[in-house]
Amino acid sequence: MSQPARTALFLIVVIVSNLAGNLCLNWGMKHSGALLQPAIVIGVALLIVWTLARMSLLSWADLSFVLPVTAIGYVLSAAAGKALFDERVAVERWAGALLVTAGAALVGTEKPAAPQRPTEG
């Protein structure tokens, strides 16, 4: 798999697993609060996938690329909270979400740097 394809795949995994994991945790805690409730267990598992995928992504892509691009997950979380949980999302939050989206789009137009090999000293 090429470097750009692998980066794109891991970006998707990071964004989706973070969003889905947090949605599961939110739903589980609001509906039962029991830690071993299935939605909570699934949420924790998805957040473990998120952590591992993000660590892998950071091993070859620049932090200054990864963080802004994956920040789109915050926008998706606000939209999902509104759509799925009927949460009130204030105008200020939507404005912030739009700024995050604009920043992610701007950073996403740049190609991620090629992996660097450690230098021997």
d(CA 20, CA 68): 19
What pLDDT is recorded for position 102?
Answer: 84
What pLDDT is recorded for position 113?
Answer: 62
| Token pair listed for 90 | 């204030």
What pLDDT is recorded for position 26?
Answer: 94
Task: Say if CB 39 and CB 7 are below 8 A apart.
Answer: no
What pLDDT is recorded for position 107?
Answer: 76
What pLDDT is recorded for position 112?
Answer: 60
What pLDDT is recorded for position 50?
Answer: 96
pTM given for the model: 0.79
d(CA 111, CA 62): 10
pLDDT digits (tens, 9 = 90+) for 95-107: 988 888 888 778 7
d(CA 89, CA 92): 8
d(CA 50, CA 63): 16
| Token pair listed for 115 | 């992996």
What stretches in the chain show pLDDT beneath 70? 111-121
